[in-house]
Structure 1
């Protein structure tokens, strides 16, 4: 049943609506396109007219009236044929309008007159002589040696022994160094000043040499591998988070024990999984661990020789994607497993390096296809894991005296960096740079008069960290090519130690104490320093010399003590009597005539003074007993 036409307005008014919906707008695209085209034509015509007027004015200024008339006539022809914006009915006018859409071309006469200068907008990027393509070709053909940041350097003093481990967090804010002196030092580039002092030093593994330090992929924890059998995980500030369990050394099958039973050699974090890390040990196993479970390893890999016997892995690493685990062994072999298949190797090369040598480092390139190895046979080799039977390139005569001498790729993957070892007094250790494709030595840095053990090229900072055999950690950077890192601390001045901190005492607040026991209100540092300076006990003020007759019980004229005064004034009397008895009796006559002290007290009981008579020496010897005789 059809509703009447007036039903909808009545229903809408009853319910309070103005309508049940709006009609969708319709657009006439042909009309819009036509309007846009006409607008473009009008703009083009105005631009041409402005250029014609400018050219005419310049020619008038030069004084060439005849040439100016010809040029105006020649240029005005296209304008006469150009239709106005209001006309557009005929087909011929439409065709002429279509040819003028867009910005106008530059005047042809100016280009023909001056071939050397380009007038008008720049050439498109595809043109062979364009500036952009020249810049691109320069960037592509730029020598990778120019990207090495070595114009400036700073030296961090770790200690006196070999710096055997280096680690940088992913952001590049903190550096950690470990050495043969068992210490791990923390360096904060943003917090250091020009004195370059570490803000924390600790010994996480007691008396064991530090072999490897590495931040996790998120930078919140640190893996510490030392000369013991238990790896440790520290947090960002150096506090312990987890310690691996030690295995049972009496179990023959290492897969049945929960941890390592011998000295560790190396370790690293998984690049994708932040809780997983890898360690290898002298017990002949490579184990994976989980930070959340310190009771048992996560997986175990057992490298074998060609005869199926146990072999010791000296270095281990993950691939860039974390799917492969590689280990360099003492028999010179490199064995690579799939992370999820721990029985059989996926890639295997038996004679990668000389047997009975320690392969000190394995590292994958950033593209994940090339593996670089630093062998104990003084060689550096690269391998393609897709064709793992033979090496791609090799260079020899690179001395290595340490079992952790490493190598690394440059951030652009075009260079390979490693260090060389030297004996004491036989030259300087060097940092060598090789091209990845040709293995041609393109650059070297003379580091110091000791071996170069560790090297690290951080991709974000674009700075190179080097650990040496004499306890130094050097950072190479370029102010223009590098970012943050060492640039933050070299510009800060050294802080001065404040003397007030050594003199002030702790202020104890006792609000309910009696007035006689209450401490005075704590003053400012300056006032407290001035008050302590006046206190002779706190400032350790020496006693001043005595001037004048004396002060405070001290005599200043004849020395600093009372005994010296008595010696000079009383004992050394000018009257020198050889017989002290006669010197005393010379006052006897005056004392008898005018008694004052003793005589009046004994005037009644002893009117006459009796003195002992002097006896001769002969009488003394005869009458006195033997024990009273004077001994001569």
Structure 2
């Protein structure tokens, strides 16, 4: 296909058209159009895309082979070889064995790799569209009823928080919602009493109550952490830093996505956050204009590394951060320049250390790595781990681990792919790392776990949107035990029919059933009935009887109000109103005249003098004023 351009000599007439020249006043249209060969351009673009796809697939296959080899070395397996799958971007419409014919233009596709033919469930390792978090199973719901307390969420439960008293539970997920659950106010239906989106379209990564339980720290996928009160109303929002400043210590806040956060165990106004800008910052609730302190983790070469998790020690004197280069770095809270303890090879480089937590005695640090390991460290000898266990899959950057209240057990969860088994909750002895118990939670990944010391109950957040609560009927206190014993309140249906009604329009009158009405219409009809609606009786007219007071009562004030204040007589002209009684008062005096009948039987009135009769020499102040 050819498109004429402004410089082409093809298809141009040999000379100007005489009629066109006479009409338009000029002899030609300038240079001839230039032609483009679109077929050649498309062929060149296709070959370039195919070459790029081939290189990308070769790199992926090479990386997968190296990873399998490395995993085999870690697990002590000599041979983990597997058949290499057919590259996704080069599938044949006739035979799946066309992987060998990579140079054939009929079997090669242009652009990003396409999914194989068939249903989506047939392929577990191939995703369409933008990359999703590993083990993403947000659309699945667990319909199985368990003996435990199951709280239904909408998406991955990526954050859990319990107040110190254990009365309220908060959950957050990939659906941006933060939900509040009150154990004392819930019944067996287990419904949240409040749901809100404090960070709009950013997924919730961490939720935690303060040491006093009056405020909540919300860490989401944006650069600004928020503090809410117990009812979800905003209290404070951290300021965002200047992203164009190179030295992050000179900015007032984070400039990139947050990863984790927690409260200080002793100081109720202070909390900690870490971000992709390569800093760990402390904040004060009373000051939202600037951070309180900043810590910058560094690699062995002195370069910036990203902290993925952070925590305080139990006494609040140490700050620990797990970084993407596999290191764990610990600072003194009052000295933010150099680390006090650090281990460069704590976990595999490039993996996200999802959780750090200190034991209750403050001597052991547990770390959950993105390299599918769980390790414990003695901070007094921080070079090598005390114990370690491999083969614990972790697909989420916030997979938890926690200590039991008696400090003897260590708990963590495992992740699974869809249709590949159940996510588990594993219990290990702290001293020997011997697995003492294993609990199947659901057919999805176990993301969050929390063991409350006062309730002695375990809260678990899963990848299919469930928040489960495990409790012991005898050893646990309050919490879920308050709501599971309450029966579910039956909802009142106002639009349903009381019974099935068969419509027979042509039936004889003697067999015809009366027309059924809905409950709503029946309620409206009963509302108009004063007996069924319990309409209050009107007040009694008159003085009252049977112990009931009249309309205006029986007192003097009520009588005056009724007969005088509420009198409708028109007294707009008071003179005429008084003169109406003048004749009657003169003929039959009652009020004033009888009092003077003996002393002054004949009334004496003052004579009215006109202005003409008044003498001129009378003083001005004695003259009658008009």
**Residues 597 and 111 of structure 1: CA distance in aligned 2, closer, same or farther (over 3 Å):** closer
**Residues 2 and 615 of structure 1: CA distance in aligned 2, closer, same or farther (over 3 Å):** closer
Work out whether residues 148 and 468 of structure 2, in 8 Å CA contact, stay in contact via their aligned partners in 1: no
Segment of structure 1 superposing worse, 520-529 or 414-423: 520-529
Work out whether residues 504 and 529 of structure 1, in 8 Å CA contact, stay in contact via their aligned partners in 2: no
Which residue number corresponds to residue 148 of structure 2?
Answer: 142
Distance 2:248 2:57 in 1: 88
Segment of structure 1 superposing worse, 11-20 or 406-415: 11-20
Segment of structure 1 superposing worse, 92-101 or 164-173: 92-101
* 1:14-93 equivalent positions in 2, closer than 5 A: none
Question: What CA deviation, in whole Å up to 9, does each residue of 1:497-545 have, x standing for no partner?
Answer: 3568999999999999999999999999999947546699999999999
Q: CA deviation at 1:495?
A: 1.6
**Residues 623 and 518 of structure 1: CA distance in aligned 2, closer, same or farther (over 3 Å):** farther
Q: CA deviation at 1:197?
A: 0.3
Segment of structure 1 superposing worse, 94-103 or 473-482: 94-103
Work out whether residues 495 and 518 of structure 2, in 8 Å CA contact, stay in contact via their aligned partners in 1: no
Work out whether residues 178 and 184 of structure 1, in 8 Å CA contact, stay in contact via their aligned partners in 2: yes
**Residues 601 and 354 of structure 1: CA distance in aligned 2, closer, same or farther (over 3 Å):** same
Local SS of the residue matching 2:297 = coil
Q: CA deviation at 1:11?
A: 151
Gaps of 5+ in 1: 148-161
Distance 1:428 1:21 in 2: 75
Q: CA deviation at 1:613?
A: 109
Gaps of 5+ in 2: 6-14
Local SS of the residue matching 1:621 = coil
Segment of structure 1 superposing worse, 609-618 or 394-403: 609-618
Q: CA deviation at 1:494?
A: 1.4
Work out whether residues 125 and 132 of structure 1, in 8 Å CA contact, stay in contact via their aligned partners in 2: no
Local SS of the residue matching 1:96 = coil
Segment of structure 1 superposing worse, 266-275 or 516-525: 516-525
Segment of structure 1 superposing worse, 515-524 or 87-96: 87-96
**Residues 412 and 144 of structure 1: CA distance in aligned 2, closer, same or farther (over 3 Å):** farther
Which residue number corresponds to residue 443 of structure 2?
Answer: 449
Which residue number corresponds to residue 531 of structure 1?
Answer: 525
**Residues 564 and 309 of structure 1: CA distance in aligned 2, closer, same or farther (over 3 Å):** same
Work out whether residues 38 and 85 of structure 1, in 8 Å CA contact, stay in contact via their aligned partners in 2: no
Aligned length: 613
**Residues 53 and 308 of structure 1: CA distance in aligned 2, closer, same or farther (over 3 Å):** closer
Question: What CA deviation, in whole Å up to 9, does each residue of 1:134-167 have, x standing for no partner?
Answer: 999xxx99999999xxxxxxxxxxxxxx100000
Q: CA deviation at 1:357?
A: 0.5
**Residues 501 and 244 of structure 1: CA distance in aligned 2, closer, same or farther (over 3 Å):** farther
Distance 2:129 2:497 in 1: 76
**Residues 500 and 592 of structure 1: CA distance in aligned 2, closer, same or farther (over 3 Å):** same
Work out whether residues 4 and 35 of structure 2, in 8 Å CA contact, stay in contact via their aligned partners in 1: no
**Residues 547 and 510 of structure 1: CA distance in aligned 2, closer, same or farther (over 3 Å):** farther
Which residue number corresponds to residue 614 of structure 2?
Answer: 620
**Residues 58 and 437 of structure 1: CA distance in aligned 2, closer, same or farther (over 3 Å):** closer
Local SS of the residue matching 1:42 = helix
**Residues 248 and 55 of structure 1: CA distance in aligned 2, closer, same or farther (over 3 Å):** closer
Which residue number corresponds to residue 384 of structure 1?
Answer: 378
* 1:576-595 equivalent positions in 2, closer than 5 A: none
Distance 2:77 2:174 in 1: 92
- Which structure's CA Rg is the greater one? 1
Distance 2:222 2:72 in 1: 96
Local SS of the residue matching 2:426 = strand
Work out whether residues 4 and 36 of structure 2, in 8 Å CA contact, stay in contact via their aligned partners in 1: no
Distance 2:536 2:476 in 1: 56
Question: What CA deviation, in whole Å up to 9, does each residue of 1:165-191 have, x standing for no partner?
Answer: 000000000000000010011000000
Q: CA deviation at 1:496?
A: 2.7
**Residues 272 and 96 of structure 1: CA distance in aligned 2, closer, same or farther (over 3 Å):** farther
**Residues 164 and 39 of structure 1: CA distance in aligned 2, closer, same or farther (over 3 Å):** closer
Segment of structure 1 superposing worse, 126-135 or 448-457: 126-135
Segment of structure 1 superposing worse, 125-134 or 523-532: 125-134
Work out whether residues 2 and 35 of structure 2, in 8 Å CA contact, stay in contact via their aligned partners in 1: no
Distance 2:70 2:219 in 1: 85
Work out whether residues 256 and 275 of structure 2, in 8 Å CA contact, stay in contact via their aligned partners in 1: yes
Q: CA deviation at 1:493?
A: 1.1
Work out whether residues 370 and 382 of structure 1, in 8 Å CA contact, stay in contact via their aligned partners in 2: yes
Question: What CA deviation, in whole Å up to 9, does each residue of 1:170-223 have, x standing for no partner?
Answer: 000000000001001100000000110000000000000100000000000000
Distance 2:240 2:68 in 1: 95
Work out whether residues 503 and 529 of structure 1, in 8 Å CA contact, stay in contact via their aligned partners in 2: no
Work out whether residues 311 and 357 of structure 2, in 8 Å CA contact, stay in contact via their aligned partners in 1: yes
Local SS of the residue matching 2:36 = coil
**Residues 523 and 276 of structure 1: CA distance in aligned 2, closer, same or farther (over 3 Å):** farther
Q: CA deviation at 1:117?
A: 76
TM-score normalised according to structure 1 size: 0.55
Which residue number corresponds to residue 482 of structure 2?
Answer: 488
**Residues 49 and 11 of structure 1: CA distance in aligned 2, closer, same or farther (over 3 Å):** same
Q: CA deviation at 1:53?
A: 99
**Residues 231 and 143 of structure 1: CA distance in aligned 2, closer, same or farther (over 3 Å):** closer
Q: CA deviation at 1:39?
A: 113
**Residues 631 and 44 of structure 1: CA distance in aligned 2, closer, same or farther (over 3 Å):** closer
Question: What CA deviation, in whole Å up to 9, does each residue of 1:421-446 have, x standing for no partner?
Answer: 00000000000000000001010110
Distance 2:419 2:137 in 1: 57
Distance 1:477 1:90 in 2: 54
Distance 1:375 1:492 in 2: 41
Q: Which has the higher helix share?
A: 1
Distance 1:472 1:59 in 2: 33
